[in-house]
Structure 1
Amino acid sequence: MRCPTLSELPSPPRGRSGWPWTEESPELAHLMPDGSPWPRISVVTPSYNQAKFIEMTIRSVLLQGYPDLEYIVIDGGSTDGSVEIIRKYEKWLAYWVSEPDRGQSHAINKGFEKATGEIYTWLNSDDYLLKDALGHVAVAYRRSPDAGAWCGGCVRVEPNGKKVWVRWPKRLDAEGVADWNQNSFGQPACFFSKEAWERCGPLDEELHYGMDLDLWLKMAKAVAIERVDKELAAEHAHDEAKTEADRGRMYATQFLLQFRHGYEQFAVEDITRWMNDYLEYRRRVERMYRFPLVRRIVAPLARTVLEKLHVL
């Protein structure tokens, strides 16, 4: 399906402006610059009770101006108004469903079972693509036919839309990916070929966290992963996000996967470093508590800040 234009989509909610509400990506030519057809890109969005974000996600995919998009939405039976939002855009969806599932990994696997594209990605319903992302990925795909995956910059944004930072992929070889705390990259800005998915998928449905890291560890051993020097996607920083809500389980899963894939040295290094940081923190707190003013005022305030930052 050729992406719809801004004028074809439903009007944005009142007060919404900018990308992807009142702005769109330029419409790409029917054929690539070399005269070949654009590769079909299949995007799967898993979602459950994300009415606050999902419309932005959907519009960011549909307004790519891309000539051959296949967009699939797998909703887990939402009850917060998400289904009504999805229905507004269903004429531009290749497939969608709202029914109970076994979690995010299961939803993504269900979506890729329906996919027919040459390039795959999933985009969570609290993330969104940036302008021209699909075009940049397609060009990278044609330029590096021996690669099996492509990763670009992923922007972290606050709820008000302010840009916090950009995560760029650094080392994309197997050891680089395994050293995740030093070389992590943003999943929303990552794409892979159908062949890579068939070799390395599906996602492990037993994993509530880290299913993307598990897949990337498999892919880094099986195919070449190329960097795309473009910002491709953005992820919202919000308290309800899984990675914000339960960092302890997220890190525990990361260490488990590093051991599972034979890279236990990176897990041991990270655990040792964090233990040393924690012990140093305890020593500093003990020194602070020697002063009466700190005990009464400063220490409780510092603890509140550290808990908010998920340091404690």
Structure 2
Amino acid sequence: MKIENQINNSLINKPLVSIVMPSFNQVEFIERSILSIINQNYSNIELIIIDGGSNDGTIDVINKYMDHVSYFISEPDEGQSDALNKGFSRAKGEIYGWLNSDDLYLPGAIHQVVEEFIKCSEFKIIFGDWLSIDEYDDIIDYNHAFDFNLNHFKYEGFHLNSQAMFWKSDVHKEFGGFNKNLNNTMDYQMIVEFGVKNGQEKFHRIPKSLAAFRRHPKQKTTGMSPRVIAEHRAIAKTYGFEDKFHLSGKLKRFYFRFRRGYWYAKRGGMSNLLRRLKRLPSVSE
């Protein structure tokens, strides 16, 4: 099944924002995700939904909102990376975003991001803070993003969230695409490549919460399982930082762990620092 609608490009001075939503059997959450886009106070949005052949009622939910969907297809695919590649190949906007079908954009997020891109045209990637929510949309945690540092991201880990990140179309055109062999870490791959090809100075943080990342029992995102570690090794090999898994990489991770602590304290105070440090894995992991 495939449906394609015409995009309204008549809005003057409002860049088209393309949002790609990969989906597979998320009937419990996808309506809330779609509504978080429809209810934005920004009208020039292109919503592209790539479904992997859902059979749980997801398609019925999507059909309710087809007037707001620019492109939709439901067919078996090779996983989330494949769905994302299909979706972004259809994008026509000047600004791109990726929202999973169980996550949410917060009210006003897209308008804030567009304003920031217009005001700070030298930046190519803009990101903000994000919430963690449960299956009932109750807030579990407030997450503060840090100013982007590519080596910190490569060696020590995430300090931004892809659901609270937007980028210019030319950034994606230079991106080699999502590796279809990655089942869990395609967001890590994307951000590493954005940093390598554009430079960390093209990333811009705004101190506002833009999205909500959902934590629930059925979600795919997990801890550092053997498969996730193998994917991290593959990404490190592709982008030339295989020393991440050697002694020199562990020393770098130790250094960037201090940077993480600094940002935890700077953005959320000492109580935030102490609370979050208890959760962090060892630098040797």
Q: TM-score range by the shorter chain?
A: 0.7 to 0.9
Matched, 1:216 2:191: yes
Q: Write the distance in 1 (CA, Å) between the matches of 2:119 and 2:152.
A: 23
Q: Write the distance in 2 (CA, Å) between the matches of 1:161 and 1:271.
A: 38
Structure 2 residue aligned with 1:100? 76
Shift of 1:180: 4.0
- Residues 171 and 177, structure 1, Cα contact 8 Å, conserved in 2: no
Identity %: 30
Matched, 1:49 2:25: yes
1:243 to 221, 228, 235: 221
Taking structure 1 as the reference length, the TM-score comes to: 0.72
Change (3 A) 1:267 1:145: farther
Larger deviation: 194-203 or 245-254?
245-254
Change (3 A) 1:241 1:269: farther
Larger deviation: 239-248 or 123-132?
239-248
1:170 to 140, 146, 153: 146
Change (3 A) 1:246 1:82: farther
Matched, 1:88 2:53: no
Q: Write the distance in 2 (CA, Å) between the matches of 1:122 and 1:75.
A: 14
Residue pairs, 1:106-255, within 5 angstroms:
106-181=82-157, 183-223=158-198, 224-244=202-222, 247-255=225-233
Long gaps (5+) in structure 1:
3-29, 274-309
Matched letter for residue 236 of structure 2: Q
Matched letter for residue 212 of structure 1: D
- Residues 20 and 87, structure 2, Cα contact 8 Å, conserved in 1: yes
Change (3 A) 1:246 1:85: farther
Q: Write the distance in 2 (CA, Å) between the matches of 1:202 and 1:143.
A: 29
Q: Write the distance in 2 (CA, Å) between the matches of 1:270 and 1:186.
A: 26
Q: Write the distance in 2 (CA, Å) between the matches of 1:113 and 1:164.
A: 34
Deviation sequence 1:39-79 (CA, Å, 0-9, x none): 11000100011101100000001110212110111111100
Q: Write the distance in 1 (CA, Å) between the matches of 2:39 and 2:92.
A: 20
Structure 2 residue aligned with 1:11? none
Matched, 1:63 2:35: no
Q: Write the distance in 1 (CA, Å) between the matches of 2:156 and 2:171.
A: 20
Structure 1 residue aligned with 2:270? none
Q: Write the distance in 1 (CA, Å) between the matches of 2:84 and 2:209.
A: 23
- Residues 147 and 204, structure 2, Cα contact 8 Å, conserved in 1: no
Change (3 A) 1:265 1:171: farther
Matched letter for residue 161 of structure 1: D
Long gaps (5+) in structure 2:
1-6, 252-280
Q: Write the distance in 1 (CA, Å) between the matches of 2:173 and 2:48.
A: 18
Change (3 A) 1:240 1:72: same
- Residues 105 and 204, structure 1, Cα contact 8 Å, conserved in 2: yes
Shift of 1:267: 3.7
Taking structure 2 as the reference length, the TM-score comes to: 0.78
Larger deviation: 238-247 or 74-83?
238-247
Shift of 1:246: 7.2
RMSD: 2.6
Q: Write the distance in 2 (CA, Å) between the matches of 1:271 and 1:252.
A: 16
Greater relative contact order (CA < 8 Å, ≥ 6 in sequence) = 2
Q: Write the distance in 2 (CA, Å) between the matches of 1:197 and 1:97.
A: 21
Q: Write the distance in 1 (CA, Å) between the matches of 2:205 and 2:170.
A: 18
Q: Which runs of 4+ in 1 moved over 4 A?
A: 269-273
- Report which of the two structures shows the higher radius of gyration computed on alpha carbons: 1
- Residues 158 and 236, structure 1, Cα contact 8 Å, conserved in 2: yes
Matched letter for residue 148 of structure 1: K
